[in-house]
A = this chain, B = another copy of it.
Amino acid sequence: MSRKTFQRLSLDDRRRSLMEATLTCVARHGLHGASVRRITEEAGVTVGLVRHYFGSKDELIRNAYAYLVGQLTAQASESARATEGKSEAQLASFLRANLTKPNMDEETVSLWATFIGRVRHDPGFAEIHRDGYREFLNVLESLIEPVLIAHGCPYSIAICRNHAIALNGLIDGLWMEGAINSGLYAQDILPDLITSAAERLLDLPAGTLSAPDIPHHTSNAPTHPKQQSKPS
């Protein structure tokens, strides 16, 4: 009857390991099925560590949520930052990043929704969500602004913000429904769909955001390959 041999991890490593195990368990079994025992088993440790590192299970879950939100926005804005070239390309890259892997992932969306359900009841969750959302809006605004200016669109802070709100809604909605409703339509259509939709939302000429350089191959558009009617 020897004890389990173990390895001491640094504070950050152990905390991250527990948070990731939490996300895995919530994704697999839902919030109600993510018990401390399952989480710690997933992380390969025993239950005591939750109390040791996070004080309580709730605090662990809150931290895991913040960890997830951080990763999501970081990945998308990183994708924009990594795109060289004109501001249109960066905005397009950001939009597409939200509707392609790894962000566009059923498990991730499912996780996100599960946590959103707790925002209303837990002030800690509310704060995490609000901060994440605010940052997302800010990134979006900073990407929209130069595009509007470059095209001589009517511009003001209020206009820019409203565009960001609408665009964010579009991203979120397509992201959620698209990831969960795999089956009603192919997810592949979403990146092209959102770039074209964004052009119209921002009153940009058609084609501004789609394929300035790279051919995005709008796969199979059977009958009407493109709608380029521009009513005056």
Q: Do the beta carbons of A178 and B169 come within 8 Å of each other?
A: yes
Q: Do the beta carbons of A30 and B153 come within 8 Å of each other?
A: no
Give the A interface residue count (CB, 8 A).
66
CB distance from A52 to the nearest CB of B (A): 23
Contact residues in B for A29 (Cβ distance below 8 Å): 121
Contact residues in B for A193 (Cβ distance below 8 Å): 162, 165-166
CB distance from A170 to the nearest CB of B (A): 5
A170 is contacted by which of B32, B110, B121, B169 (Cβ under 8 Å)? B169
Binary B-proximity of A160-174 (CB < 8 A = 1, otherwise 0): 011001101111111
CB of A120 within 8 Å of the partner chain: yes
Q: Report Cα–Cα, A137/B177, bound state, in Å.
A: 11
- Once A30-B121, A137-B184 are accepted as A-B contacts, the answer to whether A227 and B154 lie under 8 Å apart by CB is yes
Q: Report Cα–Cα, A73/B161, bound state, in Å.
A: 29
Q: Do the beta carbons of B168 and A117 come within 8 Å of each other?
A: no
CB distance from A181 to the nearest CB of B (A): 6
Q: Do the beta carbons of B120 and A106 come within 8 Å of each other?
A: yes
Q: Do the beta carbons of B30 and A158 come within 8 Å of each other?
A: no
Contact residues in B for A173 (Cβ distance below 8 Å): 168-176
Q: Do the beta carbons of B200 and A229 come within 8 Å of each other?
A: no
- Once A118-B30, A121-B30, A184-B134 are accepted as A-B contacts, the answer to whether A224 and B110 lie under 8 Å apart by CB is no
Q: Do the beta carbons of A227 and B189 come within 8 Å of each other?
A: no
Q: Do the beta carbons of B162 and A166 come within 8 Å of each other?
A: no
- Once A130-B183, A153-B229, A224-B158 are accepted as A-B contacts, the answer to whether A172 and B165 lie under 8 Å apart by CB is no
A114 is contacted by which of B114, B170, B181, B184 (Cβ under 8 Å)? B114
Q: Do the beta carbons of B113 and A116 come within 8 Å of each other?
A: yes
9 contacts between A and B (CB under 8 A): A113-B114, A129-B181, A137-B184, A162-B189, A166-B170, A166-B193, A168-B177, A173-B174, A203-B229
Query: Which residues on A are within 8 Å of B, measured CB to CB?
Result: 27-32, 106-107, 110-111, 113-121, 129-130, 133-134, 137, 151, 153-154, 156, 158-159, 161-162, 165-166, 168-178, 180-181, 183-185, 189, 193-194, 197, 200-201, 203, 205, 221-224, 227, 229-231
